[in-house]
Amino acid sequence: MNKPASIGVFDSGVGGLTVLRALRATLPEARLIYVADSAHAPYGDRSDDFLLERSRQVTRFLIEEGARLIVVACNTATAAAIAALRSEFDLPFVGIEPGIKPALARSDTRRVGVLATPSTLRSAKFRALLHTHASADEPVLQPCPGLADAVERGDLAAPDLRQLIHRYCAPLHAAQCDTVVLGCTHYPLLAQAIQAELGPRVHLIDTAEPVARQAARLWKTEPATPAEPPRLYTNGDLAVLRRMADLCAQQDATVHRWSAAPHGAP
């Protein structure tokens, strides 16, 4: 427990790097440790029990590595597990959820689309969010099975990935949405392709920055001097993590293998 105080960040895989990028911009002197649980990705069609167990296991590792605050950089895990994590562990958690409220505020036509995992869209937490903010302006909800998984394979220009983007954007295009929520942290890595599919006038909403601001409000620890690059861990493909970290402007981050106990082990 003598490891230096850090912010722990995790996702099912490489998507949460889009949140890590915002955290680093907001808190350049904080130590950041990231876990990509890629061996168990995608989370988007798993049960709540599975997601909670994975989240517990990653949280234990991050605490052992010095985390004093944890950012759940995954909409799916936030919806399924953050309430239980907060009650089971004695440190603060910041989660991420689809930006319904900012999307409705930004939209001129109040035609809003949401791209997210099936698990996020059917969660009680998301339904409550919708109920609070959307009222009669029911957004167009588009589950995107397979999309985060395709990102995890590491080739963002792969034809099957481009076909999925085309398929999932088509209903939002047909509904003339002027604002689209990127409700999974993997999707900002595809922002260019999604924008090209929807057209240049459609606003894309990513909630990484508000999450980083919330983490900054809670982070009271002494800054690391000199600042240290983030440490990134994966139980998946190191080369994919490296490539996606570079895409997220984290060329100086170090990548490491995370050899966790298999799923279900205590």
Question: d(Cα 10, Cα 79) in Å, to the nearest integer?
Answer: 14
12 binds ligand DGL (CB under 6 A): yes
Member of 9, 32, 36, 74 binding ligand DGL (CB under 6 A): 74
123 binds ligand DGL (CB under 6 A): no
> Mask: binding to ligand DGL, 189-228, rule CB under 6 A, as x and -?
----------------------------------------
185 binds ligand DGL (CB under 6 A): yes
- What DSSP designation does 103 have? H
Q: Backbone phi, then psi, for 49, in 5-degree steps?
A: -60, -45
Q: How many CB atoms lie within 10 A of CB 173?
A: 15
Q: Distances from the Cα of 14 to the Cαs of 18, 51, 248, in angstroms?
A: 8, 16, 10
Residues contacting 70, CB < 8 A, separation 6+: 7, 8, 9, 10, 59, 62, 85, 89, 91, 92, 93, 94
Question: d(Cα 87, Cα 69) in Å, to the nearest integer?
Answer: 14
The least distance separating ligand DGL from the CB of residue 256, rounded to whole angstroms, comes to 20
Member of 36, 71, 141, 184 binding ligand DGL (CB under 6 A): 184
**List 74, 144, 177, 248, catalytic entry:** 74
74 flagged as catalytic: yes
99 binds ligand DGL (CB under 6 A): no
Member of 6, 57, 75, 250 binding ligand DGL (CB under 6 A): 75
Cross-strand pairs, 113: 140, 180
Residue 143 in 3-state DSSP?
Answer: strand
76 binds ligand DGL (CB under 6 A): yes
Question: d(Cα 79, Cα 44) in Å, to the nearest integer?
Answer: 11
The least distance separating ligand DGL from the CB of residue 98, rounded to whole angstroms, comes to 9
186 binds ligand DGL (CB under 6 A): yes
18 binds ligand DGL (CB under 6 A): no
CB-wise, 7 or 208, nearer to ligand DGL? 208
**List 144, 169, 184, 248, catalytic entry:** 184
- Please tell me whether the peptide bond between 262 and the residue prior to it is cis, using omega within 30 degrees of 0: no
142 binds ligand DGL (CB under 6 A): no
Enumerate binding residues for ligand DGL (CB under 6 A): 11-13, 15, 41-44, 74-76, 117, 120, 148, 184-186
User: Hey, which residues are catalytic here?
Assistant: 74, 184
